[in-house]
Amino acid sequence: MKNNRPKIFLFVLLAAAAVAAASYIWFWNLVSAVNKESSYIRGDIELQLKRNETAGALEKLVNDTETERRQIDSYFVGADQTVDFVEYLESLARDAGVNFKIISLGIEQAKDDFKDQIILRAEAAGGWSSLINFMTLLENAPYHLVLANVALTKPEKVGWEAMILIKTFQLKK
């Protein structure tokens, strides 16, 4: 009688080897994937640490430059300080001894996201020296103020008149 046991045994072992090989490959890939994912997370952590470091440095910069930034902001009319600004101009006119009258006041949306433009048309009347003093005060006002158009004329009567177009900038709310 023919002995088939070695043959069966071989096939069983070959099947077992195939299953073991497949399982090993699957497990190896699983370990590799987990390892790769860990290395990505490690990279993310390093990146995040650098980001946090940069954010910390920027935050320090923001804190260190607070005074300077306030100074820069002060060159703009505050978001709700239009009235204060107008009253400031009127006080300059009083100081210079000129009659100052606002003809129109408007706010124009600027293209950028931090400021709007205040456009103020006014007329002033007084002596030459008073008007020039007033202009000097305007030019040296603690705002970024542009005398966009000024027409000084001497009418028939005594004194001078000035038509003034002032542009200044207001921080957005």
Binding residues for another protein, per CB under 8 A? Answer: 3, 6-7, 9-10, 13-14, 16-17, 20-21, 23-24, 27-28, 30-31, 34-35, 37-38, 41-42, 44-45, 48-49, 51-52, 55, 58-59, 61-62, 65, 69, 72-73, 75-76, 112-115, 132, 135-136, 139, 144, 146-154, 169
| Residue indicated by tokens 């970024």 | 144
Which of 131, 133, 134, 109 lies closest to 119 in space, CA to CA? 109
The distance of closest approach from Cβ of residue 60 to another protein in the complex, given in angstroms and rounded to an integer, is 10
Strand partners, 147: 166
Torsion of CA 70, 76, 77, 79, to 10 degrees: -70
Residue 77 gets which letter from DSSP?
A: B
Whose Cβ is closer to another protein: residue 101's or residue 147's? 147
The distance of closest approach from Cβ of residue 19 to another protein in the complex, given in angstroms and rounded to an integer, is 8
Length of the chain (residues)? 173
Whose Cβ is closer to another protein: residue 56's or residue 106's? 56
The distance of closest approach from Cβ of residue 128 to another protein in the complex, given in angstroms and rounded to an integer, is 9
| Residue indicated by tokens 């470091």 | 53
Spatial CB neighbours of 72, under 8 Å, sequence gap ≥ 6: none
The answer to whether 164 touches 121, Cβ cutoff 8 Å, is yes
Whose Cβ is closer to another protein: residue 89's or residue 115's? 115
The distance of closest approach from Cβ of residue 97 to another protein in the complex, given in angstroms and rounded to an integer, is 16
Whose Cβ is closer to another protein: residue 87's or residue 139's? 139
Which of 164, 143, 3 lies closest to 71 in space, CA to CA? 143
The distance of closest approach from Cβ of residue 58 to another protein in the complex, given in angstroms and rounded to an integer, is 5
